[in-house]
Amino acid sequence: MRQDAFLGAIDDERIVAAIRQAESRSRGEIRVHVALGPVADARHAAEADFARLGMAATAERNGVLILVAPESQSFALVGDRGIDEKCPAGFWNEIASALGEEFRQGRFTDGIVTAVTRVGDELARHFPRRPGEQDRDELSNAISRG
């Protein structure tokens, strides 16, 4: 898919609202990043963007990045070690499979929102909000591009 067509097809406001909702239930952080231009290896690109976006700097190492590379028709999910160590086997693959199916059907926003919600469920399970403690939003909720 052409990058401009993908960017025109996603609803940034709905995705950001899903991130806010997911993060409101946990101490975790979720970001969505759209790669501008082709990427040879989505996983490698996601790991590089994870570092570049400062996602390893969260207090509990519980950040998750969803990278979408529309020109390469690929995507990847990367969880920092705090969340990755707690996820059941196959968790990231299940989300990737569901995201891929939504994308194949042309439901880009729905796919990303579903992935964000499922990641949020897992973060809430392992990193729930603590009663009486104010959570600090450590990372931007805006969709990044680059």
**3-class secondary structure for the chain?**
CCHHHHHHHCCHHHHHHHHHHHHCCECCEEEEEECCCCCCCHHHHHHHHHHHCCHHHCCCCCEEEEEEEHHHCEEEEEECHHHHCCCCCCHHHHHHHHHHHHHHCCCHHHHHHHHHHHHHHHHHHHCECCCCCCCCCCCCCCCEEC
Ordered by start, the domain boundaries in the chain are 3-129+138-145
Q: Note the pTM of the prediction, 2 decimals.
A: 0.94
Which listed CATH number (3.10.310.50, 3.90.550.10, 3.40.190.10, 3.40.50.2000) goes with 3-129+138-145? 3.10.310.50
Tens digit of pLDDT per residue, the chain (146 long)?
677 788 788 999 999 999 999 999 999 999 999 999 999 999 999 999 999 999 999 999 999 999 999 999 999 999 999 999 999 989 999 999 999 999 999 999 999 999 999 999 999 999 998 887 777 788 889 999 98
